[in-house]
Amino acid sequence: MFDRAQSEALSAFGDGTVFLERFLEKPKHIEVQLLADNFGNVIHLFERDCSVQRRHQKVVEMGPALNLPEEVRNQILTDAVKLAKTVGYRNAGTAEFLVDRQNRHYFIEINPRIQVEHTVTEELTGIDLVASQIQIALGATLESLGLIQEKINVRGVAIQCRITTEDPSKNFQPDTGRIILYRSPGGRGVRLDGGPGYTGAIITPYYDSLLVKCTCSGKNFEKARQVMLTALAEFRVRGLKTNIPFVTELLKHPTFVEGGKVWTTFIDDTPELFKAAARGSRSHKLLRYLAELAVNGFKVAGQQSVPALQSDIVMPKFSNYDEFSLLHPCTTGWRNILVSEGPEAFCAAVRKHPGLLIMDTTWRDAHQSLLATRVRTIDIARIATQTSHVFKNMFALECWGGATFDVSLRFLTECPWERLKTLRKLVPNIPFQMLLRGANAVGYTSYPDNVVFEFCKKAKECGVDVFRIFDSLNYDENLQLGIDAVKAAGGVAEAAISYTGDISNPNRKPYNLQYYLDLTAKLVKAGIHILAIKDMAGLLKPKAARMLIGAIRANHPDLVIHVHTHDTAGTGVASMIAAAEAGADVVDAAIDSMSGLTSQPSLGAITSALEGTPLDTGINEDDVLAINSYWEQIRLLYSCFDPNVKSSDSGVYLHEMPGGQYTNLLFQSQQLGLGNEWIAIKKAYQVANKLCGDITKVTPSSKVVGDFAQFMVSQKLSEQDVIEKADILSFPQSVLEYYQGYLGQPPFGFPEDLRNKILSARNLPKIQGRPGKSLPPFDFKELKANLEETYGLSNFNEYDLLSAALYPKVFEEYKEKIDTYGDLSALPTRWFLTPLKVGQEFTFDIALGRTLIVKLVAIGPLNEETSTRDIYFTLNGEARLVNIVDTVTNANKPGAAKLATRPKADPKVKGEVGAPMSGIVVELRVSEGNVVKVGDPIAVMSAMKMETIVTATMAGKIGQIHVAVKDSLSADDLIAVIKKEE
């Protein structure tokens, strides 16, 4: 070690002598201000404590040094003076010392100049050092300046901080750019020595990054510290990062608060100083969101236009209530008995209730069917307390689950749990219902059991009362799991039977009355609290409703029956009345302006149709109208997600597509260029259904049939072709997983020989029983660890943990957006969706009592190199500038490379492997020269969330491969060529 230092010195400086210095453990850095005239007189102006350093750079200085024993202090002062006298020092200077923990002081050097922190001494002694320098240089004596040692004394304490643009989170690298806003503090004991800090100034990397020196003084240390903290808080510096948050953290750190018990490496030794949350102002992030919306256009996926509602929402008047009581949530309703006496008593009371009970789906299924599930929490919460009063006779409000979980994270950057908790607080009296997709909770794939259990436990905690559990194949084992998870969580288990076919039509096999009665019996034995009939495609005709409910009621007189339908064919109201008359206890309805067509039947229609009958719902017509006038506006507000279905369609009885899928498939097939084969798709949908064994079709099973249908159409396959060539066709991923049993067992079993042909050719294993059973339990601890490591402990809670478990990727993007735009849930939807125009201004409360007035003032010109723009706002009158990347202007400049035309695979040449349909290559499983057998996977493609494996069509050696990962192909494009082994 020693000799290495010697040889290094030799080569760099030409000689090898070295000095050994003693190592001091956590020393303090004390310096003494000296002043000497040209006639040998020397005085000291006391000491300064500069122990707060970062890599030997002073950060905070103060005077006098507080926790030095008095004699040590005086010793240092006299030594400094003696030293200066001995060398005949002239004018101003600073003697620097290190003091170790045993208070032994060591001299370091004298700085022959005025130092940055000389202001501390000036405030303590009231002497102007710079003026003294000049006068001494002009030949004045200390005495003539009245600078006699005994008459100079220290008053109070002074602290100095340098306000710089160093960014602690980027390792104190100074930030540069234009200062948008600069305001400095004032007041008692605050002294500022200005640098280049003012509004509009441009800080460049060529100069020191100091903005201003702030020196604060007070009678004692604590006072001075307080003054400093206030001054720091009053600084407004926008547009550049500053070290203010860091210094603030420093001054609040307990070690510092105890009278500055710090040492030179204090900062380097306490890393949590760096953690101080870069609070970064929320308002600044909000402006970033608004700026991007104004320049780059719509930010929410699926938004087609600007909302039709461009005025403020008018709250309805409730003539049957006095205004005051509506301010607080109602406390009486069906939830009371559930909370106080549990599910069984709740169900018994429901069963005994003479009138028909209704569940309002406006908060979930209605906007899922009509507005692509885009309604935000703020728009539901706004009407929640009023709803708790006027709808206190509701059986429940369906407000959670289904696609809302996924959509609020993915598209609305809202936390679904927050929504649940918010609504629960506002509506404590009406039961909340959620839709649970049996084994896959609220997702599209199966999850390990402990995820489902954990999910239900948390959902119950946050306010879900009734869980509607369904399985897309009515597969009882999946249903069983859901039921167990719900009961374990203490919720009301409402098992749903997905209804399909038409039992009023004797020759519509195999879904006959008996099938549903058997399934009902099985579920009752499984210990459900409520049975639901889920008519997701609106196939339940009035007659069928009477037959089914009548029969179930006869077999289970005490069972609470809940009927759910969609009004796709226009028979919704008639069927619900028929169901009610046949003995149903509860039916689903949506508020008038959110009802009809692919949504639920109209609430107003049902209540008024049953008014004054034994089935009277007890819901008052005026209240419905008042609530309705509110949702009328909400519907216009979300008109940009409204697919504008004009009227009902009774063709649904044939193709049996559930509500959502119908519009999606229609929408997709136009874009994939399969437009005029829409009829072919409807026909193929029925054939695919048969090939799957005529199954119930709801998410995700409806997706399997949909993918299957598209596959048959794009490959021009008839039923016969599928059966004959099942071993070499490359089916969609979801179809293969279905035949493997990942969704469970279909109601009437698989068509076995077709299934075996498909699986054996690809030696894919069959999954017996419940698919989730074979999944290893989910490891929450491990997940928690990496979340901690990624976001830090305080930035996620136990519910985020679950969201991350269910949607890892979606959760990630959600956190990113929150980090970029901050929490936008208080932003009114109108401005969440509508791009601001220059000169437009709006006001809203971002938090209780904090009102923001936002105005877009100007959109700056495009900066060609960085393709960014400066966007000018005024926020509460303050000018603000946000710089964003303009992704629109140069995107549609000419030159984006077009799809080059690619060679097609020649079906007559067996060795040429073509793309089964148009999509994107996500994986290549082979490379040139590999040997393959028939059925070996060659590539994986994906289109519209559907993955397909492309397999080898003959045995041989892979010749040339014509595609790369991420290429987008159209049907029959050549992927690879297989050459015979010669």
The stretch near its own copies (CB under 8 A) out of 65-73, 397-405, 601-609, 743-751 is 601-609
CB of 582 to its own copies, least distance (A): 14
Residues from 181 through 220 that contact its own copies (CB under 8 A): none
The stretch near its own copies (CB under 8 A) out of 597-605, 721-729, 738-746, 959-967 is 597-605
Cα–Cα dist 924/912, whole Å? 16
In degrees, rounded to 5, the angle at the alpha carbon of residue 901 between the alpha carbons of residues 897 and 906 is: 155
Cα–Cα dist 116/812, whole Å? 46
CB of 655 to its own copies, least distance (A): 10
* Torsion angle of the four alpha carbons 424, 428, 429, 430, in this order, in degrees rounded to the nearest 10: 0
Residues from 523 through 562 that contact its own copies (CB under 8 A): 541-543
Q: Identify the helix (H) or strand (E) that includes residue 466.
A: strand 466-469
User: 333-353 burial string, b = 16+ CB within 10 Å, else e?
Assistant: bbbbbbeeeebeebbeebeeb
The stretch near its own copies (CB under 8 A) out of 108-116, 155-163, 599-607, 804-812 is 599-607
Is 224 in contact with 217 (CB distance < 8 Å)?
Answer: yes
Cα–Cα dist 16/10, whole Å? 4
Is 933 in contact with 952 (CB distance < 8 Å)?
Answer: yes
The stretch near its own copies (CB under 8 A) out of 12-20, 321-329, 569-577, 905-913 is 569-577
Is 914 in contact with 975 (CB distance < 8 Å)?
Answer: yes
Q: Which of 148, 202, 654, 793 binds its own copies (CB under 8 A)?
A: 654
598 binds its own copies (CB under 8 A): no
Q: Kindly list the distances between the CA atom of residue 716 and the CA atoms of 410, 622, 681, 711, 755, in Å, as whole numbers in the listed order.
A: 35, 56, 11, 8, 21
CB of 573 to its own copies, least distance (A): 5
Note every long-range contact of 197-200, with CB atoms under 8 Å and residues 24 or more positions apart, other chains counting.
197/163, 197/237
Q: Which of 47, 398, 406, 592 binds its own copies (CB under 8 A)?
A: 592
The stretch near its own copies (CB under 8 A) out of 253-261, 570-578, 885-893, 917-925 is 570-578
> Binders of its own copies: how many residues, by CB under 8 A?
46
Q: Kindly list the distances between the CA atom of residue 84 and the CA atoms of 34, 96, 368, in Å, as whole numbers in the listed order.
A: 8, 12, 83
602 binds its own copies (CB under 8 A): yes
CB of 673 to its own copies, least distance (A): 16
653 binds its own copies (CB under 8 A): yes
Which CB atom, from 14 or from 612, has the smaller least distance to its own copies?
A: 612
260 binds its own copies (CB under 8 A): no
Which CB atom, from 43 or from 610, has the smaller least distance to its own copies?
A: 610
Which CB atom, from 321 or from 742, has the smaller least distance to its own copies?
A: 321
Task: For 141-207, give the secondary structure using H, E and C.
Answer: CCHHHCCCHHHCCCCCEEEEEEEECEEHHHCCEECCEECCEEECCCCCCEEEEECCCCCCCEECCCC
Which CB atom, from 18 or from 654, has the smaller least distance to its own copies?
A: 654
Is 478 in contact with 471 (CB distance < 8 Å)?
Answer: yes
650 binds its own copies (CB under 8 A): yes
Which candidate, 46, 44, 41, places its Cα nearest to that of 30? 46
CB of 311 to its own copies, least distance (A): 11
Taking each helix axis as running N to C, give the angle between helix 603-610 and helix 621-637, from 0 to 180 degrees, rounded to the nearest 10. 170
Which CB atom, from 94 or from 598, has the smaller least distance to its own copies?
A: 598
Asked if 113 is an active-site residue, the reply is yes
Residues from 759 through 788 that contact its own copies (CB under 8 A): none
Which candidate, 310, 312, 283, 286, places its Cα nearest to that of 299? 286
Which CB atom, from 153 or from 311, has the smaller least distance to its own copies?
A: 311
Local structure of 213: helix, strand or coil? strand
311 binds its own copies (CB under 8 A): no
CB of 662 to its own copies, least distance (A): 14
Which CB atom, from 80 or from 652, has the smaller least distance to its own copies?
A: 652
Interface mask toward its own copies for 467-486; x: CB under 8 A: --------------------
Which CB atom, from 314 or from 897, has the smaller least distance to its own copies?
A: 314
* 422 conformational bin, left if phi > 0, alpha if psi -120 to 50, beta if neither: alpha
CB of 602 to its own copies, least distance (A): 4
Cα–Cα dist 928/863, whole Å? 46
Which CB atom, from 636 or from 826, has the smaller least distance to its own copies?
A: 636
Which CB atom, from 495 or from 605, has the smaller least distance to its own copies?
A: 605
569 binds its own copies (CB under 8 A): yes
> Which residues on adjacent β-strands are paired with residue 924?
939
CB of 752 to its own copies, least distance (A): 32
307 binds its own copies (CB under 8 A): no
Which CB atom, from 111 or from 512, has the smaller least distance to its own copies?
A: 512
The stretch near its own copies (CB under 8 A) out of 602-610, 748-756, 866-874, 882-890 is 602-610
The stretch near its own copies (CB under 8 A) out of 332-340, 592-600, 687-695, 841-849 is 592-600
Cα–Cα dist 96/108, whole Å? 5
Cα–Cα dist 811/813, whole Å? 6
Cα–Cα dist 926/851, whole Å? 60
Q: Which of 561, 594, 709, 921 binds its own copies (CB under 8 A)?
A: 594
Written as one letter, the residue type at 374 is R
Q: Which one of the listed residues 101, 104, 113, 188 is annotated catalytic?
A: 113
C-alpha gyration radius of the chain: 38
365 binds its own copies (CB under 8 A): no
Q: Which of 450, 648, 840, 867 binds its own copies (CB under 8 A)?
A: 648
Q: Kindly list the distances between the CA atom of residue 258 and the CA atoms of 2, 66, 261, 795, in Å, as whole numbers in the listed order.
A: 40, 10, 6, 30
Residues from 491 through 510 that contact its own copies (CB under 8 A): 504-506
CB of 543 to its own copies, least distance (A): 6
313 binds its own copies (CB under 8 A): no
Is 799 in contact with 455 (CB distance < 8 Å)?
Answer: no
Interface mask toward its own copies for 604-643; x: CB under 8 A: xx-xxxxxxx-------xx-xx--x---x--x--------
CB of 315 to its own copies, least distance (A): 14
Which CB atom, from 579 or from 939, has the smaller least distance to its own copies?
A: 579
Which CB atom, from 17 or from 319, has the smaller least distance to its own copies?
A: 319
CB of 631 to its own copies, least distance (A): 9
Other Cβ atoms closer than 10 A to 11: 8
> Which residues on adjacent β-strands are paired with residue 974?
914
CB of 309 to its own copies, least distance (A): 12
Taking each helix axis as running N to C, give the angle between helix 572-581 and helix 542-555, from 0 to 180 degrees, rounded to the nearest 10. 30
The stretch near its own copies (CB under 8 A) out of 67-75, 156-164, 216-224, 574-582 is 574-582
Q: Computed from CA positions of residues 856, 857, 862, 863, in that sequence, does the dihedral angle turn out positive or negative?
A: negative
Residues in contact with its own copies by the rule CB under 8 A: 504-506, 541-543, 569-571, 573-575, 577, 592-597, 601-605, 607-613, 621-622, 624-625, 628, 632, 635, 646-651, 653-654
Q: Which residues are part of the catalytic machinery?
A: 113
